[in-house]
Copies of this chain bind each other. A is one copy, B any other.
């Protein structure tokens, strides 16, 4: 698409769902002359080599960032501070350093103090993902029409911000800029609280008296299975999210609990009017999400339904 690639060398620290998807999309769109990566385990590094998507797979983060114009940490939020410390002395002057973490306040607090003044720090969060993880889970289309939020600290070089914006646009994303604190509040409700609730209810169903686990699995199509998908997300990533965005999550949780009490009271009192009014309002919100293209309009998420007379695969 571009006459010359936007970056000569991109270094990805970590090659899971997000790192692997960035590599695939960036290569497909010709956004870099070279892409190198590291992965924490020897097994992952071997697998990434086999996949043949990147130009080099290195053992240490320090080696990987050498001469890179763009360094992206694609690792759990809790690991970002230590990696920033590790790579700081090896960064090329003028390099853009970014990440993909789901929490931004903590990432800025943990990383910024370690980075040299000669590097441009532009934290980022692509709001996209699936329940899968590991080197094989990524795909080039993951970011298309999803949002990527940049949270550059005050005083960041506008040119560096613009180059990263253009990079994410090249991966197919729509880009928005906001402060780290506002990001953390918005994501607390749109992502962190939903995950916490899903993790809770799936756990609840796992240890009931009177209903067996096999019954829970069998009859999950009644609604439960929609929760299990997000409760299957990477446990380390999500542990870190809740440890690092504690305040905003607890605040949203407080509001959620109040609202749940209200609906519980309506059920206890048999107040059908209050229930109907609430359920009608939430239906409109779904419509809004489909209208702005943030979800499939196909019923049941477009889940496959086999034809009659044939069995589903």
List the interface of chain A (C-beta within 8 A of B).
1, 25, 28-29, 78, 102, 127-132, 137, 139-142, 144-147, 149, 171-172, 176, 182, 185-187, 189-206, 208, 210-211, 213, 215-233, 235-236, 238-240, 242-243, 246, 249-250, 252-253, 255-257, 259-260, 263-264, 266-268, 270, 272, 275-276, 278-283, 285-289, 292-296, 298-309, 311-312
Alpha-carbon distance A189/B303, docked complex (angstroms): 22
Residues of B within 8 A of A295 (CB): 220-221, 225, 228-229, 303
Query: Which of B231, B239, B276 is the one whose CB lies under 8 Å from A286?
Result: B231
Structural contact, A190 and B272, CB atoms closer than 8 A:
no
Alpha-carbon distance A305/B5, docked complex (angstroms): 25
16 CB-based A-B contacts, threshold 8 Å = A25-B308, A127-B221, A127-B222, A130-B300, A144-B307, A172-B306, A182-B210, A189-B216, A194-B227, A201-B259, A213-B288, A218-B292, A226-B226, A226-B227, A229-B300, A232-B283
Residues of B within 8 A of A144 (CB): 305-308, 312
Least CB distance from A286 to B in Å reads 4
Alpha-carbon distance A253/B205, docked complex (angstroms): 11
Structural contact, B189 and A229, CB atoms closer than 8 A:
no
Alpha-carbon distance A117/B18, docked complex (angstroms): 63
Structural contact, A312 and B145, CB atoms closer than 8 A:
yes
Query: Which of B131, B226, B240, B299 is the one whose CB lies under 8 Å from A132?
Result: B299
Residues of B within 8 A of A281 (CB): 203, 206
Given contacts A203-B281, A206-B281, contact A190 B255 (CB under 8 A): no
Least CB distance from A136 to B in Å reads 11
Structural contact, A200 and B256, CB atoms closer than 8 A:
yes
